[in-house]
Chain A
Amino acid sequence: MSSKRPTLRSTRRTIQTVFLALFLYLVLRTAEPLDFRVPVNIFLRSSPFLAITAILSTRAVITLFVPALAVAVLTVAFGRVFCGWICPFGTTVDICDRFLARSRREKDATTDIQPRYHPIKYALLIGLVVSAVFGVGFAGWFDPICIATRTYGIALYPYANFALEKALDGSVRANLFPGFVSWLDQAAHQSVLSFKQPVYRAHVLFLLVFVGIALLGSVERRFWCRHLCPLGALLDVLSRIALLRRRVRDGCTNCLRCQRACKMSAITGKGEKTFRGECIECFTCNAVCPEGVSTFAFSKDKKQGARSACLTRRGFVWAMLGGLVAVPVSRVNFSRNQGLLRFIRPPGVADEEEFLAACIRCGECVKVCITAGLQPVLLEGGIEALWTPKLVPRVGYCEYSCTLCGRACPTGAIPNLSRDVKQDMVLGTAFFDRSRCIPWAENRNCAVCEEVCPTPTKSIVLRETGLNDEVTGKPLRRPYVRQDVCIGCGLCENKCPLPGQAAVIVGAVRYPDEGRKRLLRGRARSGQRRLGWRRGAGRGRMG
């Protein structure tokens, strides 16, 4: 490329890089104090696919998704610009595809045959939308922005943090340039490094999903985007009426260079036609055209458009059926019968059904949690709870005045509550394992749980026993939980000095109705009411 003026392709590459960098920076800033000017969840909120499925499954208008509406409008006007220029996962796929260039077979540009697996994305889109109507929240498993968030934020970030942190720790200990190193250490920890080393449960799964998708690049470029991405499918449909279209002016020599170079295989008709909905406006065709006749323009001309392989009627019916099948697959859940679905959910989540419908499993709350106590659920809650967040107090407790998860949640599944209201939320209820608790099992005084309890009148009390401490001889007092005051934040479980499992454990909310009442009161107090047509049947669903 020796041209002096930047081509549209190089502009696009720059912008792609900028958006990927912004995305990665937002992932880094998804942490206390969460004060960056751009909302850290803006990319997730820009996905029309997540917007539609979340709105259908919660049956509420979620105003957080206004950016998604903007992306939909953008797509109707200009085509799949989001896929080609903005999507951080698309850019990631582009980068991975470069590394896989050698293992790909040279594209046969002379045939226009669309591969068999092309309609999978439409089937996924339809199936997930249908299942969302029935309140199944599986969309986030397949949404590319969710995948990117989980890959970078949950799977890769802890490793990057570890490497940098250890290098810095080593410098702190080596004490070579104490002033500079100490400044660097504090500065790094206030910007890119995590305050404490995060470890996320089973993050390798997220990594495997990503590696699997990336490796598909050895078959074809942008394999994920062309054949699998449900967001791509939705934007594909929207972009079919877009006004910005590829136009090949007179003078095309049918050299097929554009057709060979197109990473979406969107060019057909010996280079003169374009599959509507497939083109992501990457402008590579313009850049490679030796005659300079490949251009983009606003027009209503349909002559140069071609219809790409779409879902057949039969495929459409099957996809809908698949979406319906997802409903019992999710709901017929043995964990429910065990009563095990009562995880310690993030603060303000009062209704498990509502939460499962609204949560997109993106991992924002897991990444932002100030103590890293929020962790992804695996299969212990059945398929329907996979990758939703739960609090693991031994890892990290719910910090009394912290409201980060509610602020980072892109769908409002975790309500964004004011500090006062959040402090009133009940996550669970603590109980004692008296067979291990030091004052109960060993007759020694210990009061760490009582000491750290953050509720102003203490949810753990010490009562006189009439016995004495077996070593110091002082009066022995034993701890009890005040179940009506306990908010289940897990600070006691986190700080219990026993090795391994704690002797004070947070279990399911003892009085769930009280918790729900407090939430409604709190929402009313903070002026938060969800818009929409939420039916009272929220709890009447199967299961």
Chain B
Amino acid sequence: MRKVTRRRFLAEGSLVCAGGAAFALGVCSQCGTPKPGGELKLKPPKQNSLTRDTVVARGSNPSEITEAAIAALGGLEKLVTSGDIVIVKPNIAWDRTPEQAANTNPEVVAAIVKLALKAGAGEVHVFDHAINDARLTYKSSGIAEAARRAGAKVGYVRGKDDPRFRDMSIPNGVIMPHWGLHDMLTRATVLINVPIAKHHNLTRLSLGLKNLMGLAGGDRGTWHPDIAKRLADLSSAVNVDLTVMDAFRILVDHGPTGGSLDDVKETRQVIASVDPVAVDSYAATLFGIKGNEIGYIQEAYERGLGEMELSKVNLKEVTV
């Protein structure tokens, strides 16, 4: 054993102390009880000059119809301005391939990422709080690769306890005054929701408002008995600026997971609007269901989050 000299004691001791302090700092900074709501502020709605239409674009190429739908709204430049931090929120919840239609079509996601960057976005973030293991869903959905190649930052959410979920207040929440939401919602300036239209046994359909659940952490399973109110609460808080619904392939049964190609129907369209309720209400008709038959669409409509009556929606159809 070497003798402990004063010099050595000081040198090694200070190293150990520095390491310990760094570790303690790390631990303490997240041990403090999070204040409900706290000083964290969710992003406000972004001012935009997009048309108020609900656009349905049809065609044989997912990225072309996505571009056409957004062009028909006036182009993404009308929403995204230079330096914006944009969240593109697809459905990447399931370990399924694009053909199985359980996740958003990767080409649709990539097209939106490209348009956002072209419009001057500083950063585009793509993520979802997956149900299956995120490493698998990001890969098999094809979204991670497509979005990365398009220039987006693709980050994992590591389960319900991910430190990025932070307790935030939901000012208009009826039964959910606060919940853990992804902290990117405090940094971002634009939120583009990119759901896929598919069957869901409890709510009947999983559409745009349902897709927002991927922004929430914690035990989302507990939402299910009051899912309509919860989704309306969440929707009222996060301020979706644009919804681009992937209905290129829709899942008509055994959703939201699917797995069998027998349940997939090719409807070859993309629906886009700044009104999240109108998009959902229109998408429901693809399944032969009216918007008011879906609990959360009805609830969101009653709260004034958007228009459910398709007769009052200005539908614009484009074919590529």
Chain A residues with CB under 8 Å of chain B are 32-33, 102, 163, 166-174, 178, 182, 186, 189, 195-196, 370-371, 399-402, 438, 442, 444-448, 450-458, 462, 469, 471-472, 474, 495-497
Q: In the assembly, what is the distance between CA of A214 and CA of B222, in Å?
A: 48
Given contacts A189-B158, A447-B201, contact A402 B133 (CB under 8 A): yes
A370 touches B133 (CB 8 A): yes
Tell which of A178, A444, A456 has the most Cβ of chain B within 10 Å.
Answer: A456
User: Contact between B159 and A196 (Cβ–Cβ < 8 Å)?
Assistant: yes
Residues of A within 8 A of B228 (CB): 472
Contacts beyond the supplied A196-B158, A438-B225: 5 A-B pairs with Cβ under 8 Å:
A174-B29, A195-B156, A196-B159, A452-B131, A457-B260
Q: Report B75 CB to chain A, min CB distance, Å.
A: 29
Bound CA–CA A450/B166 (angstroms): 28
Point out the residues of chain B lying under 8 angstroms from A171, CB to CB: 26
B200 beta carbon closer than 8 Å to chain A: yes
Contact B140 A401 (CB under 8 A): yes
Taking the closest CB of chain B, its distance from the CB of A205, in whole angstroms, is 26
B27 within 8 Å of A (CB atoms):
yes
Most chain A Cβ neighbours within 10 Å, of B131, B228, B263: B131
Q: Is the CB of A497 within 8 A of B221?
A: yes
Residue pair B254, A456 in contact (C-beta under 8 Å): yes
When the two chains form the complex, which single residue of A186, A370, A452 contacts B156, counting CB atoms closer than 8 Å?
A186
| Known A173-B163, A399-B132; contact A167-B156, beta-carbon cutoff 8 A | no
Which residues from chain A contact B134 at a C-beta distance below 8 Å?
195
Given A173-B29, A445-B202, answer yes or no on A455-B259 (Cβ-Cβ < 8 Å): yes
Among B164-213, those with CB < 8 Å from A are: 164, 166, 187, 200-202
A178–B183 CA distance with the chains assembled, in angstroms: 12
Task: Pick 15 A–B contacts, CB within 8 A, sort by A.
Answer: A32-B136, A166-B23, A169-B30, A171-B26, A172-B164, A173-B163, A178-B187, A182-B155, A186-B155, A447-B224, A454-B95, A456-B263, A457-B260, A474-B295, A497-B224
Decide: B221 and A448 in contact? CB cutoff 8 A. Answer: yes
CB distance B224 to A195 under 8 Å? no
Nearest A residue to B34 by beta-carbon distance?
A173
Look across to chain A and name the residue whose beta carbon is closest to the beta carbon of B140.
A401
Tell me the minimal C-beta distance from B130 to chain A in angstroms: 11
Question: A446 touching B131 by the CB < 8 A rule?
Answer: no
In the complex formed, the residue of A with least CB distance to B227 is: A445
Contacts of A472 in B (CB 8 A): 225-226, 228, 295
Task: Determine if B222 and A497 form an interchain contact, defined as CB atoms under 8 angstroms apart.
Answer: yes
Q: Does any Cβ of A come within 8 Å of B22's Cβ?
A: yes
- Residue from A167, A448, A450, A457 in contact with B27 in the complex, judged by beta carbons closer than 8 Å: A167
Q: B11 interface residue, CB < 8 Å from A?
A: no
Residue with the highest number of chain B CB atoms closer than 10 Å, among A32, A446, A471 = A446
B→A interface (CB under 8 Å)? 1, 22-23, 25-30, 95, 131-136, 140, 155-156, 158-159, 163-164, 166, 187, 200-202, 219, 221-222, 224-226, 228, 254, 256-260, 263, 295
When the two chains form their complex, are residues B224 and A445 in contact, meaning their CB atoms are under 8 A apart?
A: yes
Chain A residues positioned under 8 Å from B156 (CB to CB):
186, 189, 195
Give every chain B residue within 8 A of A399 (Cβ-Cβ).
95, 132-133, 136
Give Cα A447 to B202, complex, Å. 6
Interface contact A495-B221, CB-CB below 8 Å: yes
Nearest CB of chain A from residue B264's CB, rounded to whole Å: 11
Given contacts A167-B27, A471-B225, contact A453 B257 (CB under 8 A): yes
Cβ contacts under 8 Å, A172 to chain B: 163-164
Q: How many angstroms between the C-alpha atoms of A471 and B257 in the bound complex?
A: 27
A454 & B259 in contact (Cβ 8 Å cutoff):
yes
Taken together as a complex, chains A and B put the C-alpha atoms of A402 and B27 apart, in Å, by 33
Cβ distance A247 to chain B, nearest Cβ, rounded Å = 35
Complex CA distance for A286 and B274, rounded to whole angstroms: 81
Set of chain B residues within 8 Å of A496, measured between Cβ atoms: 221
Q: Which residue of A lies closest to B95 (CB)?
A: A401
Cα of A173 to Cα of B32 in the assembled complex, Å = 11
Give min CB distance, A156 to chain B, whole Å: 17
Cβ–Cβ contact B225 & A452, under 8 A:
no
- How many angstroms from the CA of A462 to the CA of B219 in the assembled complex? 22
B257 → chain A, closest Cβ, in Å?
Answer: 6
Which residue in chain A gives the minimum CB-CB distance to B202?
A447
Report how far A33 CA is from B228 CA in the complex, Å. 37
**CA gap between A172 and B26 in the complex, in Å:** 9
Q: List A contacts of B159 (CB < 8 A).
A: 196
Q: Which residues of B contact A102 (CB under 8 A)?
A: 1
Q: Are A456 and B164 in contact (CB under 8 A)?
A: no
Of the candidates B25, B95, B219, which one forms a contact with A400 in the assembled complex, judged by CB atoms under 8 Å apart?
A: B95
Shortest distance from the beta carbon of B289 to any chain A beta carbon, whole Å: 14
Say whether A451 contacts B200, CB under 8 Å: yes
CB-CB nearest in chain A for B139: A33
Q: CB-nearest residue of chain A relative to B163?
A: A169
Specify which chain A residues have a CB less than 8 angstroms from the CB of B258 in the assembled complex. 456
Does B256 contact A446, Cβ atoms closer than 8 Å? Answer: no
Contacts of A400 in B (CB 8 A): 95, 132
Distance (whole angstroms) from the CB of A494 to the closest CB of chain B: 10
User: A448-B224, A456-B254 are contacts. A462–B135 as well, Cβ < 8 Å?
Assistant: no
* A450–B158 CA distance with the chains assembled, in angstroms: 23
Question: What A residues does B166 contact at CB under 8 A?
Answer: 173
Q: State in angstroms the CA–CA spacing of A451 and B164 once bound together.
A: 25
Docked complex Cα distance between A195 and B254 (Å):
29
A422 to chain B, nearest CB (A): 13
Q: Are A173 and B202 in contact (CB under 8 A)?
A: no
Q: In the complex, which of the residues B1, B25, B159, B201 has the most CB atoms of chain A within 10 Å of its own CB atom?
A: B201
**A169 CB contacts on chain B under 8 angstroms:** 26, 30, 163
Tell me the complex Cα distance, A458–B102, Å.
14
Q: In the complex, which residue of chain B has the Cβ closest to the Cβ of A400?
A: B95
- Give the nearest-CB partner of A193 in chain B: B158
Residue of B nearest to A370 (CB): B133
Q: How distant is the Cα of A454 from the Cα of B1 in the complex, in angstroms? A: 60
B30–A173 touching, CB < 8 Å: yes
Tell me the smallest distance from the CB of B192 to a CB of chain A, in Å.
Answer: 21
CA distance A320 to B263 in the complex (A): 62
Q: Which 5 A-B pairs have the closest CB atoms?
A: A170-B26, A456-B259, A497-B221, A167-B26, A447-B202
A-side contacts of B222, CB under 8 Å: 497
User: What is the distance, in angstroms, from A33's C-beta to the closest C-beta of chain B?
Assistant: 7
In the assembled complex, the Cα of A279 lies from the Cα of B1 at a distance in Å of 28
**Cross-interface CB contact of A170 among B30, B135, B164, B259, cutoff 8 Å:** B30
Complex CA–CA separation, A490 to B41 (angstroms): 38
Measured CB to CB, the closest approach of chain B to A183, in angstroms, equals 10
Given contacts A451-B200, A497-B224, contact A33 B135 (CB under 8 A): yes
Closest CB-CB distance, B102 to chain A, in whole Å?
A: 10
B121 → chain A, closest Cβ, in Å?
16
Docked CA distance A176–B254 (Å): 45
Complex: A296 Cα to B26 Cα, angstroms: 53
Chain A residue with the shortest CB-CB distance to B262 = A456
CA distance A401 to B30 in the complex (A): 35
Q: Give the residue name and chain of the A residue nearest to B259 (CB).
A: A456
Bound-state Cα–Cα, A371 to B95, Å: 14
CB distance from A491 to the nearest CB of B (A): 8
**B28 A462 Cβ-Cβ under 8 A:** no
Contact call A444/B225, Cβ cutoff below 8 A: yes
B contact residues around A33 at 8 Å (CB)? 135
Q: Chain A CB within 10 Å — which of B259, B263, B295 has the most?
A: B259
User: B residues within 8 A CB of A447?
Assistant: 201-202, 224
Q: How far is the CA of A457 from the CA of B258 in the complex (A)?
A: 7
Assuming the contacts A102-B1, A446-B202, A456-B258, asked whether A168 and B131 have C-beta atoms less than 8 A apart, the reply is no
Which one of A371, A442, A457 lies within 8 Å of B133 (CB-CB)? A371
- Which residue of A167, A173, A371, A453 is within 8 Å of B23 (Cβ)? A167
Instruction: Specify the chain B residue showing the minimal Cβ separation from A454.
Output: B257
Complex alpha-carbon distance, A210 and B163, angstroms = 34
